[in-house]
Structure 1
Amino acid sequence: MYPTPAEAFLAARTLDQEMRAALAGTLGAAAAVCLAGLATVRDDWRALRDEVAWAVVRAA
């Protein structure tokens, strides 16, 4: 579970499970954006990002 939709969206950008866990523990969207900038972005992210964004918004 992620504290906000921002962390959930940013976690979906990577397949790195350690980074996803770290994003789940961040204190706010600004910290999550900084942390996510260090993650390797998954190869299929451009194809998935709109679908992920809609899924995160619907779940929020």
Structure 2
Amino acid sequence: MSVWNLLREFQMRKVHMAVFLNGYGGTVGIITLEGVVGEIVGDIFDENDSKTSLMKMIQR
């Protein structure tokens, strides 16, 4: 599934988090709306992110 399809699913279902399951119903991982948007537009920084992380991104 592409990030665009994931974004549409998040919007349609009005959720911010999803659990990926394998073919046997086992948990593969968790994805967030912020993670999907971050893949589309790049890293997102908000008031909860540390200044150290922001400084590391600026130095790249």
Q: Output the TM-score relative to the length of structure 1.
A: 0.24
Answer with 1 or 2: which has the greater Rg: 2
Higher helix share: 1
Higher strand share: 2
Task: Kindly indicate whether structure 1 or structure 2 has the higher relative contact order, using CA contacts under 8 Å at least 6 residues apart.
Answer: 1
